[in-house]
Amino acid sequence: MLFTEMGLSSGILEGISELGFVEPTPIQEKVIPILLEEERDIIGLAQTGTGKTAAFGLPLLEKIDLSNFFPQLLILSPTRELCMQITRDLEQFSKYVGKLKITSVYGGASIDQQISALKRGVHIVVATPGRLRDLISRRRIVLTEVRTLVLDEADEMLKMGFREEVDEILKETTSKKHTLLFSATMGPDISQIARNYMHNPLEVTVGKKNAGAENVHHIYHMVQAKDRYMALKRVVDYYPDIYGIVFCRTRQDTKDVASALMKDGYNAEALHGDLTQSQRDYVMQKFRERNLSILVATDVAARGLDVNNLTHVINYNLPEDNENYNHRTGRTGRAGKDGTAVSIINMKEKGRLFQIEKTVRQKFEQKPVPAGREICERQLYHMVNKMSSFEVKHEEIDPYMKRVYKQLEDLSKEEIIKRFVAVEFDRFLDYYKNAADLNIKDKPAERGDNRPAMKKGRSMSRILFNLGKGKGLSKREVIDMVVNLSGQKGIEIGQIEIFKRASTVEVEKKFARQVIREMNQLNYQGIRVEAEENYEFTGNDFRDRSKGPRGQKKKRY
């Protein structure tokens, strides 16, 4: 099917033709005809970068009443960057539609200018939840005329803590509107929004639900923790044309890794929460224009980024939440192109990686960290290929060639080539001349075992305690809690499971009683912590395994 066969107006077709749109993506092919023919609620599940903006944008643009200068279409997005990207896309789609007014409202920009734009009259508002709630509380925006509400990247919005804002905004709109919810994953919070605010929604899924993009190749390298940065450099050097994002767990890691890469001569910069909005915009502009080849970022800073043609996503640290792996890697392999996701892990993280593999339903391939010789070969052949395909501007270079020929007349063609290659290539040859092997020699683990590898001879105890997702508990906080309460930096920590109201963590048996004793002294966000040992938790209740196979039922958390 072609866009010209979908029933779109001539103005829309002219706009998207200028952008090079010919054939719709799978999500566009499914959603556009539905929205053109009827008005109904839709849940669209598709990975980041599959063309969701055009899927809802093109048909909804057709339904705007240009004579009514009140917001008729409201689009909520999790971040300023995505908000601006959606606005740019809609403006390009509707370039030949007439005097259509689109306004974006988001934090970090002048609210007075945004209020002025709303006063002049708009047809479409693209907003972040926080700024829109601010405008509602000031009574500077009227949502009673909104016919369609779109929640784009809804899972990201909820993970970023915008649940309360989204609920308030939805209550401000009329019940007669239609709601479209687009998300990469279908979690419990998304399902609850669908139940509370949508009317008989049609679910449209592209690919497997909650699965990663199929055209992304997932690989991992296993190294000692101390060699993680050296492995990152080798990965970057192995891909001479890399244009990608390196994900780190914390702001400090982001700063440290970006600083080290820049010091070592790489074209990289950091994106993190300590940057001002103007600094953030400057970095992103450089990255979008490919004046940067590597962006080092945290999950929070990179949420909602819409950057095309990324070749690689590198997980310098694994994400805290397994589902975040999908959001990270969904930024490459877009628009039918192939992408590569590389994870650099140590032995303790192998179990976590296997958990992620199950969550995203993708097979990961373990590969050795590229050796020095391999890197040198890749760089050499890349340079030669670049040289052979380089277009010479004869009118600019010819005036200098007579003197060049004179200086090189005593050298053979082969010698000239060798010397030019050496000038460009000596840096890699010198650096990797005696490069060590960074790989850990490891026997493959069974895929059914999703626990981190334990040191031989250490027995583990499982601890159950009454804190969970409802209190925003993360695995990193559990690890920090166990380390601090045990007083042992080297304590072995096994599988961690976080449920809605409770969690379990495996710790070395000899420290379990101390950790439990200290946990029971804690007060966490107003809750008195209760911890117990040796229970098998099912998500609803737990059984004391020491009482026998059927066990004694305990109270629920």
Pairing, β 42-45 against β 202-205: parallel
Distance CA(514)–CA(511), nearest Å, equals: 6
Please indicate, yes or no, whether residues 189 and 118 belong to a single structural domain of this protein.
yes
Q: Which residues contact 410 (CB under 8 A, 6 or more apart)?
A: none
Domain presence at residue 445: no
- Domain count of the fold of the chain: 4
Q: Do 197 and 223 share a domain, yes or no?
A: no
Where is average pLDDT lowest: 22-31, 44-53, 54-63, 240-249?
44-53
Helix axes 129-137, 163-172, angle to 10 degrees: 50
Do residues 78 and 113 both lie within one domain? yes
Task: For residues 384 and 482, state if they share a domain.
Answer: no
Work out the pLDDT band at 557, boundaries 50, 70, 90: very low
Q: Which of 169, 185, 205 is the last residue of a domain?
A: 205
- The C-alpha atoms of residue 203 and residue 347 are separated, in whole angstroms, by 40
CB 271 within 8 A of CB 261: no
* Shared-domain flag, residues 530 and 479: yes
* One domain for residues 304 and 228: yes
Domain coverage including residue 508: 460-547
pLDDT at 3 (0 to 100): 92
Confidence (pLDDT) at 381: 83
Whether residue 556 lies inside any domain: the answer is no
pLDDT digits (tens, 9 = 90+) for 179-210: 999 887 777 777 888 888 888 899 998 865 55
- Provide the pLDDT for residue 546: 39
Q: How many residues does the chain have?
A: 557
pLDDT value of residue 304: 61
Residue 529 predicted with pLDDT over 60: yes
Whether residue 446 is contained in a domain is answered as no
> Does the pLDDT value for residue 169 go beyond 80?
yes
Same domain, 377 and 363: no
Cβ count within 10 A of residue 162: 19
Q: Is the pTM of this model over 0.85?
A: no
* One domain, residues 103 and 198: yes
406-424: per-residue pLDDT in tens? 888 888 888 888 887 777 6
Lowest model confidence (mean pLDDT) among 15-24, 339-348, 350-359: 350-359
- The band of 324, judged by pLDDT with boundaries at 50, 70 and 90, is confident
Residue 318 · residue 496 · CB < 8 Å: no
Using CA atoms, how far apart are residues 194 and 149, in angstroms rounded to an integer?
A: 13
Q: Which amino acid belongs to residue 122? A: V
Q: pLDDT by residue (tens digit) across 111-155?
A: 999 999 999 999 999 999 999 999 999 999 989 999 999 999 887
At 243-285, the pLDDT tens digits run 999 999 888 999 999 999 999 989 999 998 788 878 888 898 8
CA angle 305, 310, 315 (to 5 degrees): 80
Residue 422 within a domain: yes
Query: Residue-wise over 434-461: b if at least 16 C-beta within 10 A, else e?
Result: ebeebbbeeeebeeeebbbbbeeeeebb
Mean pLDDT on 327-333:
78
Contact 463, 507 (CB under 8 A): yes
- What's the pLDDT tens digit per position in 511-520? 898 999 888 8
User: With 70 as the cut, is the pLDDT of residue 318 above it?
Assistant: yes
